[in-house]
Structure formats: C-alpha cells, structure tokens
Structure 1
C-alpha cells in the first residue's frame, strides 16, 4: 500500500463506497419487491423478473452473497481510510478518518441507496440482478460455505432456511390488495371483487324474499282465480301450494303451462301440477358462496329456505346471489333500493321499514349493525323492545331516527339522520 499514491487510494475508496451502496440497495430492492407482481412478470417472460425470481428462490444464498460482498468492500474501505488517515494526520488522522468514513458510508452507502431502492424496488432489482447472478456463480463456493455454517445455526433454532412456499393470501389480505389497487382496477370492478369475497360472510337469510312476500298460487283456489294469477304474475316462476305456504307442492315456470296448453290443448289444475318442478329446499344460514355452487351443481335457479323445524322462511334465487356481486338488475321485479330510500333536503333520508340493513349500509356507507335483524323495521323493534303505537324519535347506532308511519304492527317509514344523535 505504501507504493500506491494518495490520489489512487482516494479513487479506490470512492469506488468501494459506490460498490457498498450497490450491495445495500440491491438487498433492500430485492426484499421490497411485490412478490405477486414479480411472479406475474416472470410468467409473461420478463428477463429481469425471471432472474430475480431465481435469486429469491433461495433467499439465504442471496442474502449471504450480498452480505459477503458488502462486508468485504466495507472492511477494505476501512483499511484504505486508515492508511489515508495515517498519511495525512498520523494517529489523529486515523480517528478523523474513522469518523468521516462512518458518516460517508451511512449517507452514501446505506441510507441513500436503500431509500432509493425502497422507492423503486423493481428498477433497482431487475438491473442489479444481472450482476448478482454472475457473482452468485463466481462466489458460489464461498456462499455455500458461509450458508452451511449459518443454516446449521438456524436449524439449531428450529427454523428452516428454505422457503415454505406459503405465499397464499387469505380473503382479508386479498381484500386489502384489491382496495390498494387504486386506479389499476376500475372502481366498479373493485366493488364486484369485494362482493365476491363477501359471499362467504353473507347467508341466504340475508338476501331472501321473506315468507310473507313470496308470490304463490293456492292450487285449491277456483280455476278462474288461478288463471288470473297466472296471466298477471310479474314473475317467471311461482310457488304452488295447498292452502298454506308450508304445504308447497312445486315451483312452476310460467311458460310451461302455456306451452302444454298449445301442445295438448289442455289447461287445468292437473296439468299445472304435472308441469311444476320439484321444490328445492335450502337450509337457513347457508353461505352465499356455498349456495351459488349448489345452484350450479344441481342446475337450479330458485329454492325455498327452511329453518331447523322444516318451516319455510323465505325464497332465494340465483339472480339474488348474482345481484350481490354485480348490483341490482334493472329488470328486477322487487322494489329497488332507490325506491326504498328517498334523500331529503335537510340531509336526512326517508327509508322504508322493510329495507334491508345490509343494502342500506352498502348504498349509504353506513355501519348499522347487521348481526341481528335484517330490516330497518326489525332493528328499531329490537332497540325499542316493543311495538310503537305512535310516532317517536330514537337514537340507534349513532343515527337519529324518527318513526313516521306505522302499519299493522310494522314500522313502514322512518326518517334517518346519518351520524347525528339528537339530544333529548
């Protein structure tokens, strides 16, 4: 070293600091990469992504290579700085050189490159992976030797150095990914993806047509009444029953009786019963994701929901589940949420008591409790623990509510003030 000029040593020291910064930035960039985007790019043939994916398949070797290079460079830089300090200032120069080198390495070889790599991990990783791949081949004996020692020590701690391949996302993690996609995924598509994830948390009870709203035909009615109900029904399918909805005998596709009438020139109760399909029953509290698959597997589009005693609670269709994903269909016969919620000039909303709480929350971004009653009427009755006989004002779940209309022991219309509690 005594034969090397001071200028050359300064140049060599600067090069070593740059190399140290390269190793530091490469380490941060590799670890900060989005692994799922990396896999996608590698599958599409991106050369840089393929190199990085190969290096990251054994992170212990990659980290070993980077740390070997970084430590060798830093130790050599420290030795050169010591020589320069001795030449320029003797023992005092060594102390000054140590302090200055520490600051320079922190700023230019650690903080700055690592910050840049954390901000632009793909650019840094894909470029540096080319040189790292070459160094991995050249220094593989040294890397393997170091890893043999470190992996042995890691095993003593009960940890495997190999990746376990557990890169799967839970539904909640996937929800976060979708939410963080921002402009990469259109808002409409984000809502649909999130709705699909919600299917496992929503049951058929949450979206069913309640028992008292099921459109059905009593097969024991007189024939003229039955024909009138058939010709004026707004639905494509109707439930056939005897006297009581619990005595259901089948589900009729309305086009079938008219087709049979044209083909066989007969139109009577017996023909209706022959044309009706067998009833498909669904246990209450079946998750929507499960029921969607059951509809597909059994080639069904409609089912009656029964409780643990076999009594009919309501009705659900394939279209009801699809609406949970894509939103309401314009051809839906049942009242839309827009018909049940009317905005007022004072910022409040007039809401039908029969409106579904989940639909209200989704439409208005509220957080009314959904772990109990499913309608606004039910929520208020549960809160009051009584059926109100007159109009009154209450506070429910941080919302001031005024009961406007009551009919047949049901709250028909409510005025709701969002996130505003009225003081009594």
Structure 2
C-alpha cells in the first residue's frame, strides 16, 4: 500500500471518531443546559402559582408542585449532576483538542468550552427559566422526577451526615433553611413586582403592612398618653356631654383625680341613650349617672405585637385599649383603627383633622416633616429606608443620632439624609426639614 493510500485510510478512519466525540460533547452540553434550566426554574417558581395551576388541572402542575416542595434537596441534586456533566463534557473536549492540536489542546479546550458553557449552558437556559419559572418547571417535571428519585437518596444521606456534623458543634444545617419563610418569599415577590413596575406602590404597601403585623409592636403605633383626650368623671353630666360632643372621637377614657387613674371608657352612643331615657322619663340632664353607662377599661401591655393584638380585638369584640408598661403605668392608647391603618393607610372621616398632610418637596428637594411622624410612615410615604430600630418617630431618630436634644437651626447628616431642626417645644422636636443627600458621582 502506497503512502497516499495510508494517509487517506487514516483520515477516513478518524472521521467517524471525531464526529462521535463531537456528538457526545453536544449531548452532554444539552443535558447540562437542561439541568441548569431545571435548577433555576424550581428555585424561582412560586409554590402558590403551581398550586393554582394544579387546582385547575394543568398538565404536570401537580408533579412540579411536589418537586417544588423538595426545593433544597432537588436543587442539590440538579447542581451536582450539572457539575458532573459539565466536567465530562470538558474532559471529552480536551481529549478531542489534544488529538487535533497537540500541546495547545488544553488551552484551546479551556477557552472554547468556557465560552460555550457560559453562553449556551448557563445564560440562555437560565434566562429562559427565569422568565417563566412555573411554565418551565411544568415542562421539565416529567424528566426531573426520575432523576430526583434516583439520586435524591444519596444527596439526602449526604445532607444528613452534614447535619450530624453540625449538631456535634451545637447547631444544625437545617436550621438555616427555616430562615427563608413563606413570608420572605411573598415579600421578595412584592419587592420584585414593585421594582419591575408591575405592582403599584399602594398595593405593595397594603400587602407588606399585613405581612409586617407580626413584627410590629404596640408601643410603635400607640397614641402617646400626652395626646389622649380624657374626661374627668367627677364633672357634672352636662359638662361631660359638652366635652363628648366637642370631641372628634366616639370613645373617651374617664379618669378620677389624676389622668393615670382610668376608671372607665365612655361611648358617645351610650351617653346619648342615657340622656334620652332620662329626659323622656321626666328627669333632667343632671340626673344622668355617667359612670353607670361607662364600660370597664381594657388594658394591654406595650410589649405585644400588632398581630396578636388584632386577634385579641376581634376575639373580645373591642375597638379600644389603654396601653400600660410593666409597672401598670399608662403609656398610651391603641384602637382597632390604628392597626387597620398599618395595612390600608390613613383612614379619615369628616371629623378628622389632617395630622400628616401629603409630603411634597419644595424646589430644593426638601421635605417639611412633623417631629412626631413615625419613621415607618415616612419610609412608606417616600420609599425611604431610614432605620427604625432605635426610635419610632423622626424626632426620636434625630435625638438618638445626635445623642442630645438639638436646638432649632442645628443640622445633622446621617443615613444619606440632611436633617435640620426647625422647631422645639420644651424637650420635644416639633418640626424638621429633611433632604436626601445625592450620592457622589463615581
């Protein structure tokens, strides 16, 4: 056989081998892309959305939901398998390039496979899954299910050994999983919807207000005792009636001697009914016994959460509570309406005086803010992120940061904002001017 015939035989013999290796590499890359898409889809999919699809009997929705319930171990299985498949693809590619290009083969393989894996295996499949995670999860569920049933036990065993190792140190690997709750998932979805422009700010605030009730304390939103309208129970009935009719509130606490000594709660309807009965029976207004129609006061601790107190209000059919500290001293007042306003925003009727007018910046971008305004209300109104761990009100925040009670005219800058004190009454800051400080150019 001549030299040319031998060379031709070598080429024709090598051709099928090269195509076979390329086919194997392509198949491994397709499997890796499938695993990447599945891992992203099941990580991002909404269980609530899959449950709704399952209730409508959508194809594979129930299977996808059952797999989503095992999100963490399933994600571990898909990540491990995806890593193994990518390693196999790189090994086959390196062998192919070494065969074709010799010593330069590993370098060429690293460059080519890095680009191919990033573009075709990671970016494209994960991007498609991120765009519609529930739809992708439903489509891939029939193939993902057998993989999870096959390799899941091994991963569960490894997680058990890891948890055992953590338990020897007094902690648990599983404890970290509980930190991401359903509430966190909903809050993240709301934040994403707001940033994407698909959810109105008012809708997000209402939903977040309902979610946050368990993390908010009574003392954060109660009306301070210095602002509570009270009636002296020892006043004549006609004077009490005048005070009740002049008030914008339907319920008023009654006290005797000193304001701390609350002896009852008077409802305007009960008082008017008593007056009407007395007048119709030929009596006079002076004959009305106000304490006879007053209800017993309902006291609550300042340390309870709004979620707990809302349940108590509903269970006891109460709308009005007086807040006390651990020593029994009066701290403030809380109503059912106050808690509802944390969800739906300010509720006003024709008798309410607007206490927190709409915040609007002047031409310099400054906001005039009442010192008693809560930090939470300010953050909700303007989408700011001022800290509220150390103080409930804007004035309290400034005092905490300044470590003193500032005088009018003093200016402070912290948390990316400029605070100027405009008014002070005794030891209270009554008015501030606040302006966001622009971030320095990069």
Give the alignment of 1:145-184 within 5 angstroms. 166=177, 169-170=180-181, 174-182=186-194, 183-184=197-198
Counterpart residue number, 1:47: 59
Match of 1:319, SS state, is helix
Taking the TM superposition and a 5 Å limit, the aligned residue runs for 1:265-304 are 265=280, 267=285, 270-304=288-322
Counterparts of 1:394-409 in structure 2, within 5 Å, are 394-398=410-414, 399-404=418-423, 409=426
CA pair 109-187 structure 1, distance change in 2 beyond 3 A:
same
Task: Report the CA distance between 1:124 and its aligned residue.
Answer: 5.8
Which segments of 5 or more consecutive residues in structure 2 lack a partner in the other structure?
Answer: 1-9, 166-172
Q: Distance in 2 between matches of 1:343 and 1:223?
A: 48
What is the CA-CA distance between 1:192 and the residue it aligns to? 1.8
Looking at structure 1, the residues matched to 404 and 81 of structure 2 have their Cα atoms a distance apart, in angstroms, of 69
Contact 2:421 2:431 in 1 (8 A): yes
CA offsets, 1:163-218, max 9 Å, x none? Answer: 97956734566533431233443322211222234334433222222223212221
| Aligned match for 2:231, one of 196, 217, 238 | 217
Matches within 5 A, 1:331-370: 331=349, 333-338=352-357, 344-364=362-382, 365=384, 367=386
The alignment of Structure 1 onto Structure 2 pairs a total of residues equal to: 397
- Give, in angstroms, the shift of residue 30 of structure 1: 2.0
Q: In 1, distance between residues paired with 2:82 and 2:394?
A: 60
CA distance in 2, matches of 1:76, 1:231: 89
Structure 1 unaligned runs (5+)?
86-91
Evaluate the alpha carbon distance shift between residue 16 and residue 336 of structure 1 in structure 2; reply closer, same or farther with a 3 A threshold.
Answer: same
- Shifted more, 43-52 versus 12-21: the winner is 43-52
Contact 1:24 1:110 in 2 (8 A): no
| Change in CA separation of 1:52 and 1:22 when aligned onto 2, cut-off 3 Å | farther
Q: Classify 1:147/1:174 alpha carbon distance in 2 versus 1 (closer, same or farther; 3 Å).
A: closer
Partner of 2:390: 371
Matched, 1:319 2:337: yes
Report the TM-score, using the length of structure 2 for normalisation: 0.71
Candidates 241, 250, 259, aligned match of 1:227: 241
CA 213–415 in structure 1, closer or farther in 2 if over 3 Å, else same: closer
The alignment yields a C-alpha RMSD, in angstroms, of: 4.4
Please name the residue that 2:121 is paired with: 113
Match of 1:241 among 234, 255, 275: 255
1:418 aligned onto 2:435: yes
| Distance (Å, rounded) in 2 between the aligned partners of 1:70 and 1:348 | 55
Cα distance in 2 for partners of 1:378, 1:69 equals 55
Equivalent residues in 2 for 1:52-91, closer than 5 Å: 52=64, 57=70, 59=74, 81=96, 85=99
Q: TM-score, normalised by structure 1?
A: 0.73
The aligned residue for residue 31 of structure 1 is 39
Range moving further from structure 2, 151-160 or 224-233: 151-160
Counterpart Cα distance in 2 of 1:50 and 1:289: 33
Alpha-carbon distance, 1:241 to partner: 2.0
Q: Report the equivalent of 1:89.
A: none
Change (3 A) 1:306 1:39: closer
CA contact (8 A) 1:400 1:420 kept: no
- Cα 1:11–1:371, aligned 2, differ >3 Å: closer, same or farther? same
Residues 104 and 205 of structure 1, relative CA distance in 2, 3 Å threshold: closer
Q: Report if aligned partners of 1:216, 1:239 keep a CA contact under 8 Å in 2.
A: yes
Deviation, 1:318, is: 0.8
- One of 325, 329, 338 as aligned partner of 1:307: 325
Give 1:15's aligned residue: 23
Conserved? CA contact 1:357–1:375, under 8 Å: yes
**1:24 shift after superposition:** 0.6
d(CA) in 1 for partners of 2:230, 2:23: 85
